[in-house]
Structure 1
Amino acid sequence: MKWHVVCKQFSNFTVISKYSFPFSVAAKMNRGRIISLHPECVDVNEPRSDGFVSKLAEAVSSLKAGNVIALPTDTIYGIAGLAQNSEAVNQIYHIKNRDLSNPIAVCVGRIQDVYKWSKVTISESLLSELLPGPVTVVLRRGEELNPDLNPGVSLVGIRIPDHTFVRACALSCNEPLVLTSANLSTTPSTVAIQEFQHLWPKLDLIFDGGTLPKTEKQRLGSTVVDLSVPGKYRVIRKGSAYENTMNKLMHHKLEEIVTEQNSR
């Protein structure tokens, strides 16, 4: 039986909204398949194009099957799986050889979803200034979030990349994606799929968006800031958007949480 996809338009995105998936063992035989997102193949800024829709359908089909995929973001290449799928979460830790005690962030497609999966302590105005963009906001986790994701950790990092394809994937899955850098833990982040070729056999699909900007700043990934305490902030990682993020936090009169580390 073939699976079918019914598409609808939502906030400038094509959202894959209905599935009939007879996922078989055969689906696992094409692991590491590369799908081009190059401009000549699909315009990622035109989500209503046939090319975009077909490639989005492949990504969502794979994610819904519990697989892990690689895709470009607005900073570096990342690997993603469904955050509500414990097997997918475990796969990502295994693929990256990541310490299980090291929390992992999630990605959503729109501001409203941040409220669903976390407890927001800042104004919607500030949240909308920070996201979408190269910023991960750390908030208290919501009750609906998978308990196997960062067990025992009361906070969760949430990101909305400023990248049409990634956001459309999250929207179409209608749940958060675990999204982390496409590299082994403690090794440099990647800006081209060839840089993580050693991971290809462990991934179901690799979406090739070409070489991303190669600046050292870009390779820093997103700026990570803890906003779980009302009126306060704490920078966890400076990342690629540090100065811009600090300007926005100060404009909204948030105060930095002073710790022994950042007071030196």
Structure 2
Amino acid sequence: MFLEINSHNPQPRLIHKVVENLKKGGVVAYPTDTTYGIGCSIFNKKGLERIYLIKQRDRKKPFSFICADLSDITRYAKVSNYAYKVLKRLLPGPYTFVLDATTLVPALLLTKQRTVGIRIPDNEICLSIVKELGHPIVTTSANLSGEDPIGDPWQVEQQMGKLIDIVIDGGDLSADVSSVVSLIGDTPVVLRKGVGDVSWCE
């Protein structure tokens, strides 16, 4: 299914349609503040397995996930006072922050060090989905592992439309990625430079 949703003022009935699909175990493609992502509920083990197969991704590489807000992050990650100040200043935005996980995070999303990557993208569509769903969704770029991210929803539809349940058209996006920063401890460590400014880490 290909759904066109207004990126500035998402239609509630269409967001509801996506959320109902996710509740039934669906996998969807959606816009973020960087490029298009694919995901499912973080509690959908079969959905996670599907995404690994769709992306042809190494099972040793866990996925990040999208939270609705800062209070949501504190349910799934251990956030120090320093980390909280950073998150409050930079989110929503094009960052993935690595933090120690809480016991609420499913094992498939944990690294060996029991850390997680968490995002709050500056995009009304994906945040509306997460808020209505009531818990995070997996986020990984809508492309095969090793290939460039996709910013054109029609290209996502052509490449993955038969493999996933819904492709959301939220307009043309960049083919960029988020900056990944570890906030384990009180010294930030840049793990990947992307769209988000990381000069504050130096």
TM-score (norm 2): 0.93
Are positions 1:188 and 2:148 aligned together?
yes
Deviation, structure 1 residue 224 = 0.3
1:106 alignment counterpart:
65
Residues in 1 aligned to 2:60 and 2:99: alpha-carbon distance in whole angstroms: 18
Residues in 2 aligned to 1:166 and 1:153: alpha-carbon distance in whole angstroms: 28
Q: Which amino acid aligns with 1:120?
A: V
Instruction: Name the Cα RMSD after superposition.
Output: 1.5
1:159 aligns with one of 119, 123, 142? 119
Gaps of 5+ in 1: 1-32, 214-218, 251-264
Contact 2:149 2:176 in 1 (8 A): yes
Runs of 4+ in 1 over 3 A off after TM superposition: 150-153
Gaps of 5+ in 2: none
2:164 aligns with one of 182, 197, 203? 203
Deviations 1:85-115 (A, max 9, x none): 2111111111111000112101011111110
Alignment of 1:4-153 (within 5 A): 33-37=1-5, 42=6, 44-47=7-10, 52-121=11-80, 122-150=82-110, 152-153=112-113
TM-score (norm 1): 0.72
1:179 aligns with one of 130, 139, 144? 139
Residues in 2 aligned to 1:212 and 1:221: alpha-carbon distance in whole angstroms: 11
Q: Which amino acid aligns with 2:154?
A: Q
Q: Which amino acid aligns with 1:95?
A: I
Residues in 1 aligned to 2:52 and 2:123: alpha-carbon distance in whole angstroms: 24
Q: Larger Cα Rg: Structure 1 or Structure 2?
A: 1
Residues in 1 aligned to 2:74 and 2:128: alpha-carbon distance in whole angstroms: 18
Q: Look up the SS of the partner of 1:236 in the other structure.
A: strand
Residues in 2 aligned to 1:76 and 1:149: alpha-carbon distance in whole angstroms: 21
For CA contacts below 8 A with separation 6 or more, give which structure has more relative contact order.
2
Contact 2:101 2:110 in 1 (8 A): no
Are positions 1:237 and 2:192 aligned together?
yes
Identity of aligned residues (%): 32
- Count residues in correspondence: 200
Q: Look up the SS of the partner of 2:146 in the other structure.
A: coil
Residues in 2 aligned to 1:171 and 1:157: alpha-carbon distance in whole angstroms: 19
1:246 alignment counterpart:
199
